[in-house]
Structure 1
Amino acid sequence: QGADAAGPRTGDATGQTDGSRKAPALVPAAERPTGKASVPDVPKPDLRSLPAYGITISDGTENVPGKDYLAFSANVWNAGPAQLVVDGFRSPGKAKMDAYQYFYDAKGKQVGYTPTGTMEWDPRPGHVHWHFTDFASYRLLKADKKEAVRSGKEAFCLANTDAVDYTVKNANWHPFNTDLATACGQENSISVREVLDVGSGDTYTQDLPGQSFDITDVPNGTYYIQVLANPAKRLKETNLDNNSALRKVVLGGKPGKRTVTVPAHDLVNAN
């Protein structure tokens, strides 16, 4: 169902992984970080994308006459060995928040931070909370892997909606922010904290705004849906070479009655 719903997160403010590493609190810091920014030599998150699924032709979330859309679901997850922790802080009169990524030692003590873009308020139905910008990008690539269409959605509210792989190092088997009530704030919030735990992923389903490509003028043929994590490389990770996942699709049909065929992907033989 994705992380997109308004409301507070539930659960305690602290968490513990299945190992000895202590998880940072879910509540944001009292104030924006001070002192010199630094990226210390401590464990960092590893964002990875899963291939798109739930792929279908639709008339879009806004039901625009004469338009054809290719809708899909996507998941970006954290293979660890450290949580992704991002705080946003808003200055008086500012529309956006300044975002910071935090780094922690094995005892859960913050030992560094770095600026990492912004957060913006998304008022659209199904969202209605603060989104961290440049977390992921969706692109429809031609058969030669050149870009054909790019989704306008690159901002996300992070939540651990799905267990992806709890065998990875420092996986948290009991993440707190797992439901649709997320910690992504209210419109008048001055700070928020967004966390993606080790082993968990954040799913956005095809019925949400931004989870589709306008293919009205895209010719029939073979394409790839690319889910790309950390597209601007603003987030600090252990590995930047595994952020992209491709899912092959074949477009057909006529305007107003487009079709999509989704070949099997490895062992996954489903849309």
Structure 2
Amino acid sequence: YHEGRGADAPAPPALPYALKAGRMAHLGDGPGHTDGSRIAPALKPNAKRPVGRASVPNVPKPDLRSLPAWDIGISDGEDGDVPGKDYMVFSANVWNAGPAPLVVDGFRSPGKDLMDAYQYFYDAKGKQVGYSPTGTMEWDPRVGHEHWHFTDFASYRLLRANQKEIVRSGKEAFCLANTDAIDYTVKNANWHPNNTDLSTACGQQSSLSVREVLDVGSGDTYTQYRPGQSFDVTDLPNGTYYIQVIANPEKRLHETNLNNNVALRKVVLSGTKGARKVTVPA
């Protein structure tokens, strides 16, 4: 399903990919991501947007971390991409090591295109004791999305061998959902998260409010096959590069640790235009 995957990333039992003429052709997110097969009720936001003075109390907070990219390959693009181009595609995951969940509500006025987003903080008994404005949510009308995205949750960048940025993915807004169990041994891990399905977690176009949660121990996986989300490598020279995954890139979210948000994966680009290849060193 792709070339040079490397021994560090074992294949899942059901892959959302097909091989077409030696290149990656993507069929969808797969069961339980956007197809509604994990029927989960939508989370309910607070009845009203928070009022009063914003505060960030000294209580447990989430710890967002990035996993190194995997499922790395070359594609000739999807609908909406430029024909004749070579795209480097990959999967990425940002997860929450805790000890507190990430809870974000979005609120908008009728007719507005953006929601105002707020992060909430809770004491040891689960009582909300503070909040902080944390950017916006935007409606994504594209097929395969069609839900509210929290902006600036993560960022994907392709770096040169000297780790200087060369290409940035257009994907920087996300519907948060607990698509994958990453580490349920961390403190306060929730073994039974509610919002595991993107098709139910992030609202409808008519929604005036949305709650998005990333529970402790779980992560949110995105496959990079949709238009604008992969790296255009058509004109890049062959050689060594790094895929960089950054959680909370603008540091708008409050965390226990901001020093563990970046993950790198080395890749080697080869081949010729229209027949590029990527290998992943062990």
Q: TM-score, normalised by structure 1?
A: 0.88
Q: Tell me, in whole angstroms, the C-alpha distance in 2 between the residues paired with 1:188 and 1:163.
A: 31
Q: CA deviation at 1:237?
A: 0.2
Pairing 1:256-267 to 2, within 5 Å after superposition: 256-264=274-282
1:186 to 204, 207, 224: 204
Gaps of 5+ in 2: 1-28
Specify the code of the residue in structure 1 equivalent to 2:152.
Answer: D
Check whether the contact 1:37–1:115 (CA below 8 A) recurs between aligned residues.
yes
Specify the code of the residue in structure 2 equivalent to 1:94.
Answer: K
Aligned to 1:146: 164
Gaps of 5+ in 1: 14-25, 265-271
Check whether the contact 2:40–2:197 (CA below 8 A) recurs between aligned residues.
no
The answer to whether 1:39 aligns with 2:56 is: yes
Specify the code of the residue in structure 2 equivalent to 1:93.
Answer: G
Per-residue CA deviations over 1:90-141 (Å, capped at 9, x if unaligned) read: 1233110000000011111110000000000111111110000000000000
Aligned to 1:244: 262
Specify the code of the residue in structure 2 equivalent to 1:245.
Answer: A
Q: CA deviation at 1:180?
A: 4.1
Check whether the contact 1:44–1:82 (CA below 8 A) recurs between aligned residues.
yes
Q: Tell me, in whole angstroms, the C-alpha distance in 2 between the residues paired with 1:121 and 1:45.
A: 25
- RMSD over equivalenced CA pairs, Å: 1.9
**Identical aligned pairs, as a percentage?**
79
1:77 to 95, 99, 106: 95
Aligned to 1:19: none
Check whether the contact 2:178–2:220 (CA below 8 A) recurs between aligned residues.
yes
Aligned to 2:230: 212
Q: CA deviation at 1:208?
A: 3.4
Aligned with 2:183: secondary structure?
coil
Q: CA deviation at 1:188?
A: 1.0
Check whether the contact 2:268–2:278 (CA below 8 A) recurs between aligned residues.
yes
Pairing 1:1-271 to 2, within 5 Å after superposition: 1=29, 5=34, 10-11=39-40, 26-62=43-79, 64-264=82-282
Q: Tell me, in whole angstroms, the C-alpha distance in 1 between the residues paired with 2:148 and 2:38.
A: 13
Check whether the contact 1:162–1:201 (CA below 8 A) recurs between aligned residues.
yes
Check whether the contact 1:126–1:209 (CA below 8 A) recurs between aligned residues.
no
How many matched pairs?
Answer: 252
Check whether the contact 1:44–1:81 (CA below 8 A) recurs between aligned residues.
yes
Q: Alpha carbons of 1:8 and 1:162: their partners in 2 closer, same or farther (altered >3 Å)?
A: closer
